Amino acid sequence: MKDFTRQHRISSLSEYTKAYDSSVKDPESFWSDIASSFKWKKKWNQTLKWDFEAPDVKWFLGGKLNITENLLDRHLEERGEEVAILWEPNDPDEKGLSISYRELHRKVCQFANAMISKGVAKGDRVIIYMPMVPEAAVAMLACARIGAVHSVVFAGFSASALADRINDCEAKMVLTSDGNFRGAKTIDVKGVVDEAVAKCGCIEKVIVYQRTKSDVHMESGRDLWWHDAIQDVSEEHQAEEMDAEDLLFILYTSGSTGKPKGVVHTCGGYMVYTYYSFLNVFQYKPGDIYWCTADVGWITGHSYIVYGPLLAGATTVMFEGVPTYPDAGRFWEVCDKYQVNQFYTAPTAIRALEAHGLELVEKHKLDSLRVIGSVGEPINEEAWHWYHEHIGKRKCPLVDTWWQTETGGIMISALAGITPNKPAHASLPLPGIQPVIVDSEGNELTGNNVEGNLCVKFPWPSILRTTYGDHERCKHTYFSAYKNMYFTGDGAKRDHDGYLRILGRVDDVINVSGHRMGTAEVENAIDEHPKVIESAVVGYPHDIKGQGIYAFVIAETDGIEDEIKETVNKMIGPIAKPDKIQIVPGLPKTRSGKIMRRILRKIASKETDNLGDTSTLLNPEVVEEIIKGAS
């Protein structure tokens, strides 16, 4: 079979250097060449138009396409019978599924027709709140095929968080399931959707995939079963013509204000970049079995379970369960079962599995692995070495990838086995990515051995275009800190070899198990408790999660910690529950009333010997009391 990916796969360090140099010297020609290999209904007439002040970025202007024709239709002739998705269910005793490109194409076309018949049209927003079943990918692709904008919400978020997202994008339809198997639990997914939709006036239809066969309420005239929706529906569908800059999806991410922000990605640029980055970072070759353990509710699941791999004609593994069920050897069992070649997971998972010891690792061969990867947060050196030695057997390159929901794809990473990698360093930028380290004034720090804030000075195809319905927020969050630059919100260091190491967030966002959680969003939830007067939330080092959530709470009474956790669980979901709650007599504030989170972060991290000058605070005496309570 012809390897259509070979022309864009970098195969040596000298090829990387050449590609990187040409991508910086002439970015438009570089990306045009890659984009030209795709199926376009009409070619673009201008490759790039950009202005970081506005901000306004457009790629492949005037180009017409449908992304699903590039990840399904164009593969049918040569690899129609090849496996697109290998699905591993939560229960290891349940039979998995192997879905070919031809079968996936039929399912997507059929569900696209079903959605049209229920009133969904190009430009409508559709919420997907589903477990990790193949139908979640079918739902995403069916939306893309008809030009509807999908917004996947992680099926662990609360009804309140789901309702916020539905209302923000004024979604017309929700695609969900009756329930979700997660480890030993069965989760009532439909109940959460019912509670959320009751707070929304815009939802017309809810389509429910039957997974757990739980007894659920079905609202007459609004709700229908997935299997009924597709009954007798045609499996042929002509993909909608989309402009390169038409919306593909909205993905909500926590921000420094309480309201989640809808990051917008568009059809053309996102397609080109996820394909190129997937191919090169993982060094995917035809016939490989690739597995990313993320959930489609996060950007990692969008870019590196669904879109990137399928655009490259890959076989992608989807896993419904958790790494510790039925025991902590499940990841390694699945790697052996499917003879996985590329394995991509989060440092949180690695640290949690490391804590279970080596007995469950050593039961498995893991001899098919060629590349192992890390995503979601910087990986600490101890976890890096354990992962490299015991899972990669010291022979697999470990790609420590840095990127964000807003970047759409991997930005800084070793290319597996091609460019050098160093423990706990993201290493070098991908071709087309121009990162800079700046000081607090925005001056670029050139050369090696420098540390500062990480920015990007030139657009790449999958950069976010806006935050849905609030462009000013996009400008303020990403483009206002430093003139003519995209600010990542992360600190970074360039070491003596020129490799980049990501130092973590510099704003009020906590990275919990690789998932970004706005401190304001958690504080808002805590403040909903009737006995809470005020709260401040910070991140602190956590052995398993990377960062934990520490809440300092002024309350009318003691002993309400569990109630506060339950309030957060209800408002956002279990992922946002504070790991530690300290009831305090007050919070350290400046004379203008701003909470000094810097001081609270140091207290939470047990770094109280260097708090700086607290005498300028409005209430310096409260700091000693908080320290006393923390210890």
The enclosing domain of 172 has a CATH number of 3.40.50.12780
Q: Of 411, 433, 455, which closes a domain?
A: 433
Look at residue 485 and tell me if it is in a domain. no
pLDDT at 616: 58
The residue segments making up the domain with residue 580 are: 509-630
Residues 296 and 391 in one domain: yes
Rounded average pLDDT over 506-525:
77
Confidence of residue 619 (pLDDT cuts 50, 70, 90): confident
Tokens of 550: 């520490």
Question: Can you give the pLDDT at residue 470?
Answer: 95
Task: Note the pTM of the prediction, 2 decimals.
Answer: 0.87
Query: Does one domain contain both 391 and 537?
Result: no
Sorting pLDDT into bands at 50, 70 and 90, what band is 53?
very high
- Distances in whole angstroms, Cα of residue 500 to Cα of each of 419, 428, 473, 495: 13, 6, 28, 7
pLDDT for residue 544 is more than 90? no
Domain assignment present for residue 137? The answer is yes
Identify the residue with better confidence: 343 or 451: 343
Of the candidates 535, 554, 520, 527, which has an alpha carbon nearest to the alpha carbon of residue 625?
554
Provide the CA 467 distance to its chain's centre, in angstroms.
16
And the tokens for 469?
């319905």
User: Which residue from 571, 560, 559 is spatially nearest to 530, judged by alpha carbons?
Assistant: 560
Residue 109, SS3?
A: helix
Residue 614 has pLDDT above 80, yes or no: no
> Residue 255 — pLDDT band, cuts 50, 70, 90?
low
Q: Which residues pair with 265 in a beta bridge?
A: 249
Residue 344 is assigned to a structural domain of this protein: yes
pLDDT range class, residue 591, cuts 50, 70, 90: low
Mean pLDDT for 178-205 is 96
pLDDT for the residue 594: 64
pLDDT value at 102 more than 80: yes
pLDDT of residue 592: 52
Q: Do residues 70 and 271 make contact, with C-beta atoms less than 8 angstroms apart?
A: yes
438 contacts 482 by C-beta, under 8 angstroms: yes
Let me know if residue 530 belongs to a domain.
Answer: yes
DSSP code at position 378: P
Q: What is the pLDDT of residue 543?
A: 87
Residues 146 and 57 in one domain: yes
Separation of alpha carbons 316 and 249, rounded Å: 21
297 pLDDT higher than 60: yes
Q: What DSSP letter does each residue of 427-460 carry, written as one string?
A: BSBPTT--EEEE-TT--B--SSSEEEEEEE-S--
Asked if residue 493 belongs to a domain, the reply is: no
- Report the amino acid identity of residue 342: Q
338-364 mean pLDDT: 93
Which residues does 321 contact at the CB level (< 8 Å), separation at least 6?
Answer: 88, 89, 90, 91, 181, 182, 183, 330
Q: What is the pLDDT averaged over residues 426-433?
A: 97
418 and 530 share a domain? no
Shared domain check, 528 and 395 = no
Together in a domain, 283 and 383: yes
Q: Does residue 237 sit in helix, strand or coil?
A: coil
Q: What is the DSSP string of 12-81?
A: SHHHHHHHHHHHHH-HHHHHHHHHTTS--SB--SEEEEEETTTTEEEEEET-EE-HHHHHTGGGHHHHTT
The verdict on residue 85 lying in a domain is yes
Decide: 548 and 518 in contact? Cβ < 8 Å: no
Q: Are residues 422 and 523 in the same domain?
A: no
Residue 593 maps to which CATH number?
3.30.300.30
Domain end position, chosen among 408, 433, 458: 433
393 and 514, same domain (yes or no): no
State yes or no: pLDDT of 258 exceeds 60. Answer: no
Given this model, what pLDDT does residue 613 score? 64
Over residues 474-488, mean pLDDT: 95
DSSP state of 379: P
The model's confidence at residue 380, banded by pLDDT at 50, 70 and 90, is confident
- CA separation (Å) from 413 to 278, 386, 399, 579? 11, 19, 6, 31
Q: How many domains does the chain have?
A: 2
- Give the chain's mean pLDDT: 93
DSSP 518-560: EHHHHHHHHTTSTTEEEEEEEEEEETTTEEEEEEEEEESSSS-
Same domain, 415 and 527: no
Within a domain: 481: no
Q: Last residue of some domain: 394, 414, 433?
A: 433
* Same domain as 397, residue 285: yes
Q: Which residue has the tokens 């309201």?
A: 259
472 domain-assigned: no
Which tops the pLDDT comparison, 258 or 622? 622
Instruction: Output the pLDDT for position 445.
Output: 95
